[in-house]
């Protein structure tokens, strides 16, 4: 029996296929048409027609390239606008401005004054972003903003990740900073916590590239994680997935900031390492000093770092036994001591994880360093773009 195509089916299909191609170009351009067909699952002829239509509509650029032979390289048109990624930390913020193909055009950092409230932080971010757009934009508009902060972000009933709960900084409690950002910039905005954003960056651009299932762990002033499961960010029922720093490893251990004892964060975060090192070296004030003294042979500083690594390894074994991801990526400030910390991480991890998991799950160090949060915020901004921002006024005929 022959299936009849209902009126409207073909225009809807053309619309969906065009959008699929344009969404793919957000993260892979400039790319040969043949590769674009493989990535989208569409036929080469369909991709060729879509690219031709999009070129006429001003949505893409097509250039000649040579990759062994002359090919047509497709990328999103710069005229579609710019996106900004804003990563807020406890002491400073980083802003990257890029095009909708994820190419960074401008990056800058700015300090956050002690005690600054959310409105003041957003205003600093706005000023730095506006300077970046003016430098990189050549008259282009800012069409999307991503904001990441170092605290849990909950989802509202409508699914938006906009409500901050249990904030670590006064003034962020139950706030809706994404709405503030959207109002301040006149562009759609989205928000997530920094570990999720860094996970997204490492997955798309760094040490997690090519994985369908990834656990990213960030060890810095706090300890958090981001989960990519089946090629999608996993946030949990309320948006709080990834709080690996609150796995309790020692019920009689030191208190953490939420009143728990012996959680991973209380044992391995940078403040925890500094506290442990000061038992024998009371004058150390930075992680860099602890690392330098450990490398020079100071046993107390070396022990503070190796103990942190062992705690991380034990927690990772628990998480991997539960999730069995393809790859675990470890990043954050503590990885400045990679040579001292990682052997202890691997030893404790191998002791605690099932033997089969040692083979099926890779354990690697992040490659994007301190840029991960801002690059992840940019990726969030680009992913969150509404369809109309890519399709513009173009209509399927």
105 burial level (CB within 10 Å; 0-12, 13-18, 19+): middle
Tokens of 217: 């762990």
153 burial level (CB within 10 Å; 0-12, 13-18, 19+): buried
pLDDT greater than 80 at residue 368: yes
Average pLDDT, the chain: 87
Phi-psi region of 166 (alpha: psi -120 to 50; beta: other; left: phi over 0): left
Q: What is the pLDDT of residue 274?
A: 97
Sheet holding 70-76, edge to edge: 31-32, 70-76, 60-66
- Least Cα distance to 237 among 150, 155, 166, 178 occurs for 155
- Give residue 97's pLDDT band: very low, low, confident or very high (50, 70, 90): very high
Average of per-residue pLDDT across 30-56: 89
Q: What is the pLDDT of residue 114?
A: 87
Task: Pick 217 or 14 by higher pLDDT.
Answer: 217
- Give residue 7's pLDDT band: very low, low, confident or very high (50, 70, 90): very low
**Lowest mean pLDDT segment, chosen from 36-40, 175-179, 244-248:** 175-179
- Least Cα distance to 85 among 198, 211, 172, 218 occurs for 198
The residue count of the chain comes to 397
Convert the pLDDT of each residue in 105-124 to its tens digit: 999 999 999 888 888 888 99
Convert the pLDDT of each residue in 310-364 to its tens digit: 999 999 999 999 999 999 999 999 999 999 999 999 999 999 999 988 889 999 9
**Lowest mean pLDDT segment, chosen from 7-21, 305-319, 364-378:** 7-21
pLDDT greater than 80 at residue 155: no
- The class level of CATH for 9-76 reads mainly alpha
Q: What is the pLDDT of residue 288?
A: 97
Convert the pLDDT of each residue in 179-202 to its tens digit: 878 888 888 888 888 899 999 999
Q: What is the pLDDT of residue 167?
A: 59
Instruction: Compute how many other C-beta atoms are within 10 angstroms of the C-beta atom of residue 261.
Output: 14
Q: Helices then strands (H, E): number in the chain?
A: 14, 15
Give the C-alpha separation, 281 to 298, whole Å: 9
- Least Cα distance to 353 among 319, 302, 308 occurs for 319
Percent of the chain predicted with pLDDT > 70: 89
Same fold, 81-197+374-390 and 208-367: yes
pLDDT greater than 80 at residue 48: yes
Q: What is the pLDDT of residue 80?
A: 87
pLDDT greater than 70 at residue 3: no
pLDDT greater than 70 at residue 67: no
Q: What is the pLDDT of residue 154?
A: 74
> Is the domain 208-367 a CATH 3.30.420.40 member?
yes
> Is the domain 81-197+374-390 a CATH 2.70.160.11 member?
no
Q: What is the pLDDT of residue 325?
A: 96
Average of per-residue pLDDT across 34-50: 89
- The two beta strands, 92-99 and 60-66, are unpaired
Please state the pTM of the whole predicted model: 0.85
- The two beta strands, 362-365 and 327-331, are parallel
Q: What is the pLDDT of residue 195?
A: 92
Task: Pick 377 or 171 by higher pLDDT.
Answer: 377
pLDDT greater than 90 at residue 392: no
Domain boundaries, given as residue ranges, for the chain: 9-76, 81-197+374-390, 208-367
Convert the pLDDT of each residue in 262-299 to its tens digit: 999 999 999 999 999 999 999 999 999 999 999 999 99
**Lowest mean pLDDT segment, chosen from 15-29, 62-76, 129-143, 210-224:** 62-76
Tokens of 60: 């893409």
């Amino acid at each position: 029996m022959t299936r009849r195509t209902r009126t409207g089916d073909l225009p809807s299909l053309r619309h969906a296929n065009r959008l699929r191609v344009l969404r793919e170009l957000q993260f892979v351009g400039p790319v040969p048409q043949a590769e674009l067909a493989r990535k989208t699952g569409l036929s080469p002829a369909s991709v060729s027609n879509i690219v031709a239509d999009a070129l006429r509509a001003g949505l893409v650029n097509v250039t000649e390239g040579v990759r062994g032979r002359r090919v047509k390289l497709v990328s999103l048109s710069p005229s579609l606008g710019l996106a900004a990624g804003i990563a807020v930390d406890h002491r400073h913020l980083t802003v990257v401005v890029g095009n909708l193909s994820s190419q960074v055009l401008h990056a800058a950092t700015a300090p956050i004054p002690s005690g600054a409230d959310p409105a003041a932080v957003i205003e600093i971010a706005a000023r730095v972003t506006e300077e970046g757009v003016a430098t990189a934009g050549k008259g282009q508009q800012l069409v999307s903003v991503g904001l990441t902060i170092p605290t849990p972000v909950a989802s509202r009933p409508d699914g938006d990740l906009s409500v901050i709960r249990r904030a670590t900084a006064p003034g962020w409690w139950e706030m809706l900073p994404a709405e503030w950002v959207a109002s301040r910039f006149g562009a759609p905005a989205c928000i997530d916590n920094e570990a999720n954003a860094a996970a997204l960056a490492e997955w798309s651009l760094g040490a997690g590239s090519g994985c369908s299932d990834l656990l990213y762990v960030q060890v810095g002033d706090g300890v958090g994680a981001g989960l990519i499961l089946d090629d999608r960010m996993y946030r949990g029922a309320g948006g709080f997935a990834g709080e690996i720093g609150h796995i309790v490893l020692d019920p009689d251990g030191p208190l953490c900031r939420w009143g728990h004892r012996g959680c991973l964060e209380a044992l391995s975060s940078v403040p925890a390492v500094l506290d442990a090192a000061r038992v024998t070296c009371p004058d150390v004030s930075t992680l860099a000093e602890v690392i330098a003294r450990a490398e020079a042979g100071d046993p107390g500083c070396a022990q503070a770092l190796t103990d942190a690594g062992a705690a991380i390894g034990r927690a990772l074994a628990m998480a991997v036994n539960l999730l069995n991801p393809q790859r675990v990526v470890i990043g954050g400030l503590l990885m400045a001591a990679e040579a001292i910390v990682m052997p202890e991480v691997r030893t404790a991890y191998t002791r605690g994880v099932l033997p089969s998991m040692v083979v099926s799950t890779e354990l690697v160090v992040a490659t994007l360093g301190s840029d991960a949060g801002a690059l992840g915020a940019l990726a969030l901004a680009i992913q969150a773009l509404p369809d109309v921002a890519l399709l513009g006024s173009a209509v399927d005929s």
